[in-house]
Amino acid sequence: MFLPNLLAIFASIAVLWVYFRKDIPFSVDVSKLPEASSVIKNQTMFKFSWIFLALLMIGYFIGDYFHLPVSVFALGGALVFLAIATHYKAVKPIMTMKAAPWQIVWFSIGLYVVVYGLKNAGLTDVIASWIRELTTHGDTVAIIGTGFLAAIISSVMNNMPTIMIMDIAIAQVGYLGNEALVYANILGSNLGPKMTPIGSLATLLWLHVLAKKGVKITWSEYMKVGLVITPPVLLVALLGLI
């Protein structure tokens, strides 16, 4: 995945520059910006957070080696960090819990319920038949087709349940000789969601934060950019698998 990731980064930069080139200023007067230290509320927590994030990243690798779920380290790390931040009076736990976007949490849980219902209704069988048809046209068509299939479904149904459904469908087709399809699914399910606001939880969380700050982005504004930028970046990344 090193080459596809690298291609995705460069393609994103190139496409974003082409799309926004008229809006990007040639220079920025940094003297008008406040000092970086002035916006950091707690220097101790700021410095400690770098160490904590490094330890959390190491924990993910340890968990992968011992086949432990990511949630153990993600949730565990969040609770530990919240406790430490509370100790240094950097946050108020009650306020943090109240400010959390719980509607997005319930939305994501509901998605999994719907997805399992769709699986039981035969959705994965239908997707598997589409992937089988793609494989009959050669590796290039199969990889690009699977990637864009995952992208389209992710943009409509959210990427987290989509990657699971696509994995089940690819497993039904058979992994032998189709390993690249698994990676195509990963790329499609991570880049494709950028086409719509509901495509990924990260996007929903960012839009939630922006809305609370008074910055409102409509569906049409978001998709006008997402639908133009995402397909070429995804295509370039998928070509890295071929």
Torsional sign, CA 140, 141, 146, 152: positive
Closest to 46 (Cα-Cα) out of 15, 101, 84, 76: 84
Locate all alpha helices (DSSP H) within the chain, ordered by sequence. Answer: 2-20, 43-65, 70-87, 93-99, 102-120, 123-135, 139-157, 159-173, 179-191, 201-212, 219-239
Rounded Cα distance, 139 and 215, in Å: 44
pLDDT tens column, 17-61: 999 999 988 888 888 888 877 888 888 888 888 998 899 899 889
- pTM of the model as a whole: 0.78
Q: What is the reported pLDDT for 200? A: 87
Percent of the residues in the chain that have a pLDDT greater than 90, as a whole number: 39
Q: What is the reported pLDDT for 164? A: 86
pLDDT tens column, 169-195: 999 888 777 789 999 999 999 999 999
Contacts of 21 (CB under 8 A, 6+ apart): none
Q: What is the reported pLDDT for 9? A: 94
pLDDT tens column, 64-95: 888 888 888 888 888 888 888 888 888 888 88
Q: What is the reported pLDDT for 235? A: 96
Closest to 226 (Cα-Cα) out of 184, 198, 201: 198
pLDDT tens column, 87-126: 888 888 888 888 777 887 788 788 778 877 887 888 889 9
Contacts of 127 (CB under 8 A, 6+ apart): 149, 153, 165, 166, 169
Q: What is the reported pLDDT for 161? A: 85
Q: Output phi, psi for 22, to 5 deg.
A: -75, -20
Locate all alpha helices (DSSP H) within 33-92, ordered by sequence. Answer: 43-65, 70-87
The residue written with tokens 């497993």 in the block is 171
Q: What is the reported pLDDT for 186? A: 94
Q: What is the reported pLDDT for 223? A: 93
Rounded Cα distance, 58 and 25, in Å: 39
Rounded Cα distance, 82 and 151, in Å: 35
Rounded Cα distance, 54 and 56, in Å: 5
Q: Residue 129 — very low, low, confident or very high, per pLDDT cuts 50/70/90?
A: very high
